[in-house]
Structure 1
Amino acid sequence: MLRAATLVALCVSVPFRADAQILTQGERFAPVHAEKQMVVSQEAQASEVGLTILREGGNAVDAAVAVGFALAVTLPRAGNIGGGGFMVVHMAQSGENAAIDYREMAPVAADRDMFLDEAGEASSEKSRRSGLAVGVPGTVAGLLLAHERYGSGKLTRTEVMAPAIALARDGFVVSPELAAELRIEDVRVRLAEDEEGRALFYPNDGEPPAAGDVLTLPTLAATLEAIAGNGPAAFYEGDVAKAIVDSVNGRGGRMSLEDLAAYEPIVREPVMGTFKGYEVVSMPPPSSGGVHLVQILNVLEPTHFGTFGLNSADMIHAMAEAEKYAYADRAVYLGDPDFVHVPVEALISKDYAAEIAAKIDPVKATPSSEIAANPANLPVESNETTHYSIVDAEGNAVSNTYTLNFSFGVGFGAKGAGFLLNNELDDFSAKPGVPNAYGLIGGEANAVEPRKRPLSSMTPTILLKDGKVSLVTGSPGGSRIITTVLQVILNATVHERNIATATAAPRVHHQWQPDYIRIEEGISHDTIRLLEEKGYDVRIQPAMGAAQSIQVGPDGTLTGASDPRRPGGLAIGD
Structure 2
Amino acid sequence: MNLFKLILCLWFFFRAVCVYADSQGYAQVTKDGYGAIASVNPLATQAGLNAFADGGNAVDAALAVAFTLGVVDGHNSGIGGGCFILVRTANGEVLAIDGREEAPALAHRDMFLKDGKVQPEWSKSGSLAIGIPGSVAALDALQRQAGKLKLKDVILPAAGVAEQGFAVDQVFAARLARVADTVKQYPATAQVYFDKQGEPLKAGDRLIQKDLAKTYRKIGKHGPDYFYQGKFAKAVDRWMKKNNGLVRYDDFKNYHIIMRQPIQSQFHEYTIYGFPPPSSGGVHIAQMLNILQNYDFARLDEINRTHLLIETMKLAFADRAYWLGDPAFAKVPKGLMAKTYADELSKKITLDKVSIVEKHGMPPKFDTDIFNKHTTHIATADKDGNWVAITTTVNTSFGSKVIIPGTGVVMNNQMDDFSALPGVPNAFGLVGAEANAVQPGKRPLSSMSPTLVLKGDKPVLTLGAAGGPTIITQVLQVIVKQLALGMPLEESMSSVRVHHQWKPDTLLIDGFASDELKQGLKKKGHAMRDWPGFGATQAISWDEDKGFTAVAEPRLIERNNQE
Matched, 1:268 2:260: yes
Q: Does 1:110 align with 2:110?
A: no
- Alignment partner for residue 469 of structure 1, among 439, 459, 476? 459
2:360 partner SS = coil
User: How big is the shift at 1:569?
Assistant: 10
1:148 equivalenced with 2:138 (yes/no):
no
Distance 1:100 1:278 in 2: 23
Aligned residue among 362, 373, 387 for 1:374: 362
- What is the aligned partner in structure 1 of residue 86 from structure 2? 88
* TM-superposed deviation, 1:170: 2.0
Q: Where do residues 49-198 of structure 1 align in structure 2 (5 Å cutoff)?
A: 49-92=47-90, 94-118=91-115, 120-152=116-148, 155-182=149-176, 184=177, 186-198=178-190
The two structures have a TM-score, normalised by structure 2, of: 0.91
For residue 139 of structure 2, give the secondary structure of its aligned residue in structure 1: helix
Matched residue of 1:475: which SS? strand
Aligned equivalents of 2:325 and 2:170: distance in 1?
A: 38
Q: Does 1:296 align with 2:288?
A: yes
Taking the aligned partners of 1:568 and 1:212, their CA distance within structure 2 comes to: 17
- Please give the per-residue CA displacement for 1:305-364, whole angstroms capped at 9, x wherever unaligned: 23224xx220111111111111111111111111222112x1111111111112212222
Alignment match, 1:216: 208
Letter of the 1:373 counterpart: G
In structure 2, relative to structure 1, the CA distance for the partners of 1:149 and 1:367 (3 Å cut) is same
Quick one: which amino acid aligns to residue 124 of structure 2?
R
* Aligned-partner Cα distance in 1 for 2:12–2:212: 46
Aligned partner of 2:351: which letter? P
CA positional deviation for 1:169: 1.7
Aligned-partner residue type, residue 38 of structure 1? A
- Which amino acid is the alignment partner of residue 495 of structure 1? L
Q: CA deviation at 1:378?
A: 5.4
The CA distance in 2 between the partners of 1:84 and 1:161, in whole Å, is 17
For 1:245, give the aligned amino acid.
D
Aligned mates of 1:271, 1:305 — CA distance in 2: 24
Give percent identity, aligned residues only.
Answer: 39
Aligned residue for 1:4?
Answer: none
CA drift of 1:246 comes to 3.1
Q: Which of 335, 341, 349 is residue 352 of structure 1 equivalent to?
A: 341
Amino acid at match of 2:344: E
Cα distance, 1:203 vs structure 2: 4.1
The residue aligned with 2:538 is 548
With over 3 angstroms needed to count, the CA separation of the structure-2 counterparts of 1:225 and 1:434, relative to structure 1, is same
TM-aligned CA deviation for residue 379 of structure 1: 10
SS in 2 for 1:323: helix
Quote the offset at 1:483 in angstroms: 0.2
Measured after TM superposition, the shift of residue 67 of structure 1 is: 1.1
Name the CA shift for 1:56/1:423 in 2 (closer, same or farther; >3 Å): same
Q: Is the 8 A contact 1:130 1:252 kept in 2?
A: no
- Check whether the contact 1:543–1:565 (CA below 8 A) recurs between aligned residues: no
Distance 2:217 2:329 in 1: 36
Map 1:301-340 to 2 at 5 A.
Answer: 301-309=293-301, 312-340=302-330
- Distance, in Å, in 2 between the alignment partners of 1:413 and 1:568 is 30
Q: Which residue of 2 aligns with 1:498?
A: 488
Q: Tell me if the contact between 2:36 and 2:540 (Cα under 8 Å) persists in the aligned partners.
A: yes
The answer for unaligned runs of 5 or more in structure 1 is 1-22
C-alpha distance in structure 2 between counterparts of 1:529 and 1:127, whole Å: 39
CA contact (8 A) 1:247 1:413 kept: no
Confirm or deny: 8 A CA contact 1:134 1:248 kept in the other structure. Answer: no
Distance in 1 between residues matched to 2:510 and 2:243, nearest whole Å? 38
Q: Is the 8 A contact 1:368 1:515 kept in 2?
A: no
Output the TM-score relative to the length of structure 1: 0.90
Give the partner amino acid of 1:225.
Answer: R
Q: In structure 1, what is the Cα distance between the partners aligned to 2:254 and 2:144?
A: 19
How far 1:380 moved relative to its partner? Answer: 7.0
Paired letter, 1:486: L
User: Residue 308 of structure 2 aligns to a residue in which SS?
Assistant: helix
Moved more, 518-527 or 271-280: 518-527
2:126/2:402 contact within 8 Å kept: no
Q: How many residues align?
A: 538
Instruction: Find the aligned partners of 1:209 and 1:376 in 2 and give their Cα distance.
Output: 53
CA displacement at 1:144 relative to structure 2 = 0.6
Aligned to 1:5: none
Task: State yes or no: 1:27 paired with 2:13.
Answer: yes
Q: Does 1:565 find its partner at 2:555?
A: yes
Letter aligned with residue 77 of structure 1: H
Distance 1:106 1:393, change over 3 A: same
Paired residue type of 1:129:
S
In structure 2, runs of 5+ residues without a counterpart are: 1-8
Are the equivalent residues in 2 in contact too, given 1:84–1:403 (CA < 8 A)?
A: yes
